[in-house]
Copies of this chain bind each other. A is one copy, B any other.
Amino acid sequence: MPRLTFPAASLPHSTEQLRSDIRSFLEAEIAEGTFVPRCDTWLSQHDPSFSRKLGAAGFLGLAWPTEYGGHGRTPLDRFVVVEELLAHGAPIAAHWVSDRQSGPSILKHGTEQAKRELVPKMAAGECYFSIGMSEPDAGSDLAAIRSTATKTEGGWLLNGTKVWTSQAHNNHYFIVLVRTTPMSDGGVGAEGAGGAGGAKHRGMSQFIMDLKAPGVQIRPIRLLSGHHHFNEVVMEDAFVPEHFLLGSEGNGWDQVIGELAFERSGPERYLSTFPLLVALIDAVRTEHGTELLRGPSTEAAAAIGQLAARLTALRRLCISVAVALSNGKEPVTEAAMVKDMGTQLEGEIGEVARQLVPPGTNPIFDALVEDAILSTPGFTLRGGTNEILRGIVARHLGVR
């Protein structure tokens, strides 16, 4: 019978000094007032000066080769730094995508020129990337994208519209997935939108596109919270030089799919509201005190305890996936499962918080709660909806 497989795994002792270093760094920054811990900072808190500080302190590009400005450490070292950054609610949106996936992608698929030109700046926290995948009307069906690249002298001309491009208005580049062979070629039309075959996936390529290039227009997509993280990016004959083709022409789909397990399994899938849980514990402590008779009720203490307990269980599974990935395995189903459970948990924290500490008790706490609640719908949509994730698990279990 097919099962989920989460081999027993822990982080190596070799990460502990690094954890201690980044933790001290963050505590010092908080003490100095560089930032106030917030929720969901990997999407929302874009702070180039903080990213540069991290880069200067050697906390970015950890697993990248030293010859490109990286630190030659392991993906698990990066895991430790990332979870510390998330847990402390640090403003990390600027370098987030470049550090998580664009850097590794360029190192893996990029031309030597692209690597030399970009990666050292990314590791320094000076060069930021966005993701150019989704398109209007394509929704969850990525195979339906319509943007194109056509050859021109010395490079490519890109046309089309990308949506949900986070921080495009603040970042330098995005890696954009487009068609280099039109959709109608090669008999694809015959299979149509409902076709089950992989034909629609052929003929896609990835490019590194300068977001400031002529022909690139960026328009905000504001969220219901009023926040502006996401953008629509319209490309009209926007030029990409030849050396910014990422990987082989036509291989874009496979490159993108390969990134997904990495994208889904990270600690950002259960730590988005962690700073609120920390604040909740302090708020309950302030309200009820800690003495036995005046302490929180059994029910209130249990509400906090169960969240903490589930976090520890999820973290173990998340580490198991991270170790598997770093060993070259592809735990796609397990990554989907962790993301499903993790995003539900991080959404629950906001609900528990407002139930235990009535709104109006503490304005600063209220603001954290509101931010969490307004952000929560995004947790279970971004990076594959939870319905899709459960479908992936069901398929693995053999019922779909």
Contact = CB atoms under 8 A, between A and B. Distances in A.
A361 to B, nearest CB: 13
Interface string A332-355: 000000000000000000000001
A299 interface: yes
A298 B297 CA distance: 8
A191 to B, nearest CB: 28
Nearest to A303: B299
A355 B355 CA distance: 17
A300 B356 CA distance: 12
A243 B355 CA distance: 63
Contacts of A297: 297-300
Contacts of A299: 297, 299-300, 303, 355-356
Which size class do A's interface residues fall under? under 10
A190 B312 CA distance: 58
Interface in A350-387: 355-356
A102 B233 CA distance: 68
A130 B187 CA distance: 63
Most buried by B among A298, A299, A303, A355: A299
Interface in A267-308: 297-300, 303
Contacts of A298: 297, 300
A360 to B, nearest CB: 15
A299 B355 CA distance: 9
Interface in A204-252: none
A356 B299 CA distance: 8
A300 B301 CA distance: 12
A292 to B, nearest CB: 14
Nearest to A300: B299
A146 to B, nearest CB: 29
A219 B300 CA distance: 49
A25 to B, nearest CB: 38
Nearest to A298: B297
A76 to B, nearest CB: 38
Interface in A109-167: none
Nearest to A356: B299
Nearest to A299: B299
A198 to B, nearest CB: 31
Contacts of A356: 299
Nearest to A293: B293
A299 B300 CA distance: 7
A298 B303 CA distance: 13
Leading 4 A-B pairs by shortest Cβ distance: A297-B297, A299-B299, A299-B300, A297-B299
Given A298-B300, A299-B299, 8 more contacts: A297-B297, A297-B298, A297-B299, A297-B300, A299-B300, A299-B303, A299-B355, A299-B356
Interface of A: 297-300, 303, 355-356
10 contacts: A297-B297, A297-B298, A297-B299, A297-B300, A298-B300, A299-B299, A299-B300, A299-B303, A299-B355, A299-B356
